[in-house]
Structure 1
Amino acid sequence: MREPTKAPLGRPVDGPAKALRPRLAASILLLDRSESDVRVLVGRRSKQHVFMPDVHVFPGGRRDPGDHRIAFARDLPAPLLDRLVGIYRGRLSVSAVRALALAALRELHEETNLAVGPSWTDSDRPAGCLPFRPDLERLRYVARALTPPGHVRRFDTHFFALFTDEVDLDLAVLQDSRELEDFRWVPVGDPTEVAIPDITARILHAVHTRLDADPLLGFDGTVPYFHVRNGRPIRDLL
């Protein structure tokens, strides 16, 4: 895997680092394996963003308070739900960790117009609901990353992956949004055509390594956790 062009997370806070509490977030790696090299969808964030400006990233964002109430079509596999609950040692409920996956697919729709899951009909869609019911069953859990202290935004982000050929996904409706533009399908093992944050590069390297060992990206693979301790980058395994 060649070294990609990396970019900083964003503007650091002025003065001493502030003890910002990380907010729960989720991101989705859409994987296209129709060619010899598996490719992943990334979009460029605006230069005006305070956090990760003018770089290509995976679709995603923070978990919203209402995400746990989103009606879904199929659930995450039970072992994955248990795994996510275990990461937080019971501090988050099953509903709360499921909301991370729901947030990933909600953000995907808001940022790309892509919908993973069956559409509601006009007659049965509840008021205020997404236009589709997220299908979580084929999501893989591939990484967790904690934004280091000293940035204007901090997130505890969980990264999920999904092969595009495992769900009914209409890629023809992909379109720019206020959050992301200039969408690219870049090789997981060689994302050098775009500028990406360092953490994105590290996650892609981990996913590429996992794909080499298991092209099907099994649901029970080891998950890296990227964070900083005493100023040193740490890569633990979950």
Structure 2
Amino acid sequence: MSTAAPAASSAAADEAPPRAAASVVLLRDSADGLQVLLLQRHRDARVLGGLYVFPGGKVDPEDAAPEWVAHLDAPVGTLPARLGEPGLTPAAAQALYVAAARELWEEAGVALVDAPAALAALPAGAAAGGWRAQLAAAGVRLSTAALRPWSRWITPRNPPVGTPRFDTRFFLARLPAGAQVRHDAFEASDSLWLTPRAALQRYWAREIELIPPQLMGLAQLARHATVADAWAEAAGRTPPCIQPEQFRDGEHRAMCYPGDPLHPVAERALPGPTRLRLVQGRFEPFDGFAGWFA
């Protein structure tokens, strides 16, 4: 059997543009401080099976449908600027907001709408078009104001974990008052509320599996004691665009981020380490666990 075709297919996939995606970093305050929601993807999932992630997924064409305009709490023309991406079309920006809210609803049962109580009796997990119909029936609109743009991550070519390439916008959101997380039985097998430091500690102990966007996000959130602190920090800056650069550190694969001497972008985009290396299947700072908080 020839191996040329798979190699060509892999190369073509590596050169294909990354697919647009959206993810929600859902936060709440607790007696232990700020906590973040992590969902475990089912072990047999095609992408990131078994790993803990923030709720999210790829943008669907229906997320950009003009019918959504009447079901948003803000004019779509204002959304590119909110994202810090004035070059985006309003429809593309709308699709990112709708995808983020839709994925949170489908995967965690949390509705970001202007009257959350009105959706209490509605089933979670509806497809995008069906969900829009539910919002209309309940007389509520999707709350773009509940989503605070936070960062943009572009998967590098030939990613170390072998996932498809995505261009993902991450949004912060507060858990609405009275809302309860109900992870679905299809895409997620577990849900955890953890402080960022506790999540990193469990990762370091190899109790949970995470990938760099989640790891670096947790390191960033670990600097904040409350949801209000994190929200204010996100409001005070343009969401950074992070495209990791890969390199070799001896026998290990490694990647660096803006601000690292090996990265083409000189300005630091995030607190925490500017480079990670892959050691025995785990990404870690070069100076160990303490490096998450450097």
TM-score interval (norm. to shorter): 0.7 to 0.9
Does residue 82 of structure 1 match 2:84?
no
Question: Counterpart of 1:145 in 2: which secondary structure?
Answer: strand
Of 31, 49, 56, 1:53 maps to 49
Q: 1:4 aligns to what? A: none
CA contact (8 A) 1:114 1:169 kept: no
Distance 2:75 2:26 in 1: 16
Q: Percent identity?
A: 28
Q: Distance in 1 between matches of 2:168 and 2:256?
A: 16
- In the alignment, structure 1 segments of 5+ residues that lack a partner are 1-12
Asked if 1:227 corresponds to 2:235, the answer is no
Q: Which amino acid aligns with 2:73?
A: R
Supply the distance in 1 between the matched residues of 2:198 and 2:108 (Cα, whole angstroms): 22
Contact 2:150–2:172 (Cα < 8 Å) also in 1: yes
Residue 135 (structure 1) aligned with residue 135 (structure 2): no
Amino acid at match of 1:134: L
Which residue does the alignment assign to 1:157? 168
Mark the structure with the bigger radius of gyration.
2
**Partners of 1:139 and 1:50 in 2: how far apart?**
28
The 2-side partners of 1:200 and 1:56 are apart by 8
d(CA) in 2 for partners of 1:76, 1:203: 29
Corresponding position: 1:198 with 2:209? no
Contact residue 226 and residue 233 of structure 1 kept, 8 A: no
> TM-score, normalised on structure 1?
0.76
Corresponding position: 1:170 with 2:150: no
Aligned to 2:30: 34
RMSD: 3.2
Higher RCO by CA contacts (8 Å cutoff, separation 6 or greater): 1
Out of 145-154 and 223-232, give the one that drifted further: 223-232
Greater helix proportion: 2
Confirm or deny: 8 A CA contact 1:142 1:159 kept in the other structure.
Answer: yes
Q: Which residue, out of 123, 127, 147, partners 2:155?
A: 147
SS in 2 for 1:128: helix
Shift in Å at residue 216 of structure 1? Answer: 5.3
1:72 maps to: 71
TM-score, structure 2 normalization: 0.63
Aligned residues: 216
The runs of 5 or more residues in structure 2 that have no matched partner are 1-5, 123-128, 136-140, 203-207, 248-254, 259-267, 271-294
